[in-house]
Amino acid sequence: MSSGPRRGGPAADPVYSAAEEALQRGDLDGAKLAFERILAADPRDGEAKQGLALVELSLRVRSLDAERVLQEAAEKPGDVQAQISASDVEMVSGRIDDAFDRLVGAVRRGAGDDRDAARKHLLSLFELLPPDDPRVGKARRGLQSALF
């Protein structure tokens, strides 16, 4: 995974300084607000989107017991929320393909709101990587196949 926005040095972009300072302090909520401000001014800012996605992922997993979450997902393959939490754990563990495959499978098996929740979560995880990352392309094709 990318580390998000540009960092350090005199050439660092001042637009990102509030987010970077919050991250350095471990203030995820402050970083989230800073990235949201950047996106309010420029909704197409790819670095801010990626930074916000990383912060939101970190906020979601900070209180999870990774081993328990993965075990629950294995025991309950039809539980979309369990699959979503497990995909978050896999993402922070660097198991990106596993996370994407898990959610594509949940879309394939799911229906209605559950299917839509898995699809939307997968799309949100794509924001963590550059759009040209081959893992994103592969997962997008898998998602398209699962939907149709």
pLDDT digits 0-9 by tens, 39-54: 999 999 989 999 999 9
Q: What average pLDDT does the segment 92-114 reach?
A: 94
Task: Give 131's pLDDT tier (boundaries 50, 70, 90).
Answer: confident
CA 35 to chain centre: 15
Q: Residue 148 has what pLDDT?
A: 84
Q: pTM for this one? A: 0.81
Q: Residue 80 has what pLDDT?
A: 95
- Residue by residue, DSSP assigns 32-90 as HHHHHHHHHH-TT-HHHHHHHHHHHHHHHHTT--HHHHHHHHHH-TT-HHHHHHHHHHH
Q: Is residue 101 over pLDDT 90?
A: yes
Q: Residue 12 has what pLDDT?
A: 56
The mean pLDDT of the chain is 89
State the CB neighbour count (10 A cutoff) for residue 146. 19
Q: If DSSP codes are grouped into helix, strand and coil, which group holds residue 126? A: helix
Amino acid at 8: G
Amino acid at 16: Y
Q: Residue 10 has what pLDDT?
A: 35
For residues 30 and 119, give the distance between their C-alpha atoms in angstroms, rounded to a whole number. Answer: 28
| CB hemisphere CA count around 131 (13 angstroms) | 5
Q: Is residue 65 over pLDDT 60?
A: yes
Amino acid at 47: E
Q: What average pLDDT does the segment 54-81 reach?
A: 94
Q: Is residue 14 over pLDDT 60?
A: yes
